[in-house]
Amino acid sequence: MQIFGRIIAVAAVGAAAFGLTGCGSDDASETTATSTTAASAPRSASAQGAPTASKGRECTADDIGVTGGFGEVPEITIPDDCDPPEQLVVKDLVPGTGPGAAAGDQLTMNYALVTWSDKQKLDSSFDRGEPFELALGSGMVIPGWEQGLEGVQQGARRLLIIPPDLGYGAGGNGVAPNETLVFVTDAVAVPQD
């Protein structure tokens, strides 16, 4: 089932609807090139739905298990001993080469998506054998992808942990309300000019 394509289409409908995107890998032989956390608006208790007991700390990119190298279907493992991050988390698991992606660039990405609440794969272009094309900065995808893919280089495998306010917010198209999204993305093509 291709959830991602439908979610992206809904993202263009309005500010209340958000699209999806992002992914990465954590193979022992891979080098970490970048790890950043971008600010997003804090989530209020009402935006989060029913309160859940805190585990005492927010997860980081290093807490997420990702196996497989660039071009391979990633296996993503979300731990049980930490809370989902409240800000966008971006980490290159495999470095790329060449110029970094900027607004207006046409990108070709592969991705796998796991939802935090149930730790299940929701969608994967890897499984379909169909990379996803987007124009960065055009509003085709959720804000977490727009922000999280800035600077990505061709050949990079990037992990994105996207909080609900930069993801799909109130939910829809197979995504639960206030869901944190974990993507592993491979930058198949980034303009090289």
What is the model's pLDDT at position 19? 37
Domain enclosing residue 109, as ranges: 3-40+59-189
Q: What is the CA radius of gyration of the chain?
A: 15
48 in a domain, yes or no?
no
Structure tokens at 133: 């094309």
Asked if residue 125 belongs to a domain, the reply is yes
pLDDT given for residue 53 in this prediction: 83
Coil/strand/helix, residue 80: coil
Q: Residue 38: what pLDDT?
A: 47
d(CA 76, CA 64): 7
Q: Position 33: which residue type?
A: A
pLDDT on residue 130:
96
Domain CATH code at residue 28: 3.10.50.40
Q: What confidence score (pLDDT) does residue 50 get?
A: 52
Is 51 a domain residue?
no
Residue 24 lies inside a defined structural domain of this protein: yes
Note the pLDDT of residue 31: 34
* pLDDT per residue of the chain (193 residues) written in tens, 0 to 9: 444 554 443 333 333 333 333 333 333 333 334 445 444 444 433 334 455 688 899 999 999 999 999 999 999 999 999 999 999 999 999 999 999 999 999 999 999 999 999 999 999 999 999 999 999 999 999 999 999 999 999 999 999 999 999 999 998 778 999 999 999 999 999 999 8
- Asked, for residue 52, whether it belongs to a domain, the answer is no
Is residue 13 included in any domain, yes or no?
yes
pLDDT of 23 reads 35
CA 192 – CA 140 distance, rounded (Å)? 22
Is residue 169 a part of any domain in this protein?
Answer: yes
Residue 99 lies in a domain: yes
The whole-number pLDDT of residue 94 equals 97
Q: For position 182, what pLDDT does the model report?
A: 98
The whole-number pLDDT of residue 10 equals: 37
The domain total for the chain is 1
Q: Are 75 and 157 in contact (CB under 8 A)?
A: no
Question: Both tokens of residue 169?
Answer: 């917010």
Q: Is 165 exposed, middle or buried (0-12, 13-18, 19+ CB in 10 A)?
A: buried
Predicted confidence at residue 6, as pLDDT, reads 41
Whether this prediction's pTM lies above 0.85 is answered by: no
